[in-house]
């Protein structure tokens, strides 16, 4: 797109989960974006689909509430203006709205200053998918629906302890790492994606004493809920052949090296 900052006055993202995804997981949303001074204006409407066909007990058992529809109108900081402008360069004119049963529906409607509406689709779908996830997470954080991301890694060996605290704010796109009692170090935001895509591939099993601080030798991880998961006990590989846990340890080593530079 040429001069996206000059040509448009509002953007509407229309997203719906794939037709093959059943309730209570399926949903759709519309997200209206505008530039409000140095901030990004947000108008989100999110609705879950076909839940009236399910028993209330089933919805609750899957970890949802009986009304997860959500709306929010406000703004996000200037950093989101910058990110949106970058993502607009990854759009091409849409030629067909048809999608397969297992494909999510995504359309980006851009209202130009002439009031004409141009319809686009991403030419880099994975990048846009991740952008949307981060943007929705920023909205949830800014509105108070969810907290900023927090994670702690603890390694105990004899009398020595290594504690790594990771904090990520999607609202401000800030990522920081704190090693033991040293001051926190701000790192590149790209580390957030690396952490999310590595850590949450592991399986988290129920913990018998969730409020208990680890005392014995081993490696442990807590992801914002105050519950410590022990490697190879309550934090395990998703499949017999996967190597997720060593990748988590390697990632923690990389973050420690970056933080002390």
In angstroms, what CA-CA distances link 250 with 123, 149, 198, 217, 255?
A: 33, 20, 10, 18, 9
**What is the pTM assigned to this prediction?**
0.92
Query: What are the residue boundaries of the structural domains of the chain, listed by start?
Result: 4-143, 149-259
Cα 207 to Cα 201, 211, 230: the distances in Å are 18, 9, 9
Cβ 185 vs Cβ 257: under 8 Å: no
d(CA 136, CA 37): 21
Return the CA Rg of the chain: 21
* pLDDT of 4 strictly over 60: no
Strand order in the sheet with 218-222: 185-187, 174-179, 160-169, 149-157, 218-222, 228-230
Site of tokens 């229309």: 14
- What would the pLDDT profile of 124-181 be if each residue is shown by its tens digit? 999 999 999 999 999 999 999 999 999 999 999 988 999 999 999 999 999 999 999 9
């Amino acid at each position: 797109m040429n001069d996206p900052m000059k040509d448009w006055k509002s953007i509407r993202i229309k997203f719906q989960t794939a037709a093959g995804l059943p309730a209570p997981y399926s949903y759709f949303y519309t997200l209206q974006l505008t530039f409000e001074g140095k901030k990004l204006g947000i108008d989100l409407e999110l609705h879950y689909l076909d839940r009236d066909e399910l028993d209330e007990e089933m919805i609750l058992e899957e970890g949802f509430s009986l009304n997860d529809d959500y709306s929010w109108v406000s703004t996000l900081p200037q950093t989101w203006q910058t990110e949106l402008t970058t993502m607009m360069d990854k759009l091409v004119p849409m030629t067909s709205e048809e999608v397969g049963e297992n494909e999510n529906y995504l359309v980006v409607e851009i209202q130009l200053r002439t009031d004409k509406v141009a319809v686009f689709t991403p030419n880099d779908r994975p990048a846009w998918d991740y952008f949307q996830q981060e943007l929705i997470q920023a909205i949830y954080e800014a509105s108070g629906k969810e907290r900023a991301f927090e994670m702690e890694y603890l390694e105990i060996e004899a009398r020595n302890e290594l504690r790594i605290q990771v904090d990520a704010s999607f609202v401000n796109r800030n990522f920081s790492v704190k090693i033991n009692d040293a001051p926190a170090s701000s790192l590149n935001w790209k580390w957030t994606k690396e952490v999310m895509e590595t850590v949450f591939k592991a399986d988290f099993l129920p913990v018998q004493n969730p409020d208990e601080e680890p005392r014995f030798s081993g490696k442990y991880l807590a992801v914002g809920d105050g519950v410590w998961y022990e490697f190879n006990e309550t934090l395990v590989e998703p499949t017999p052949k996967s190597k997720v846990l060593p990748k988590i340890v390697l990632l923690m080593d990389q973050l420690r090296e970056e933080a002390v530079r």
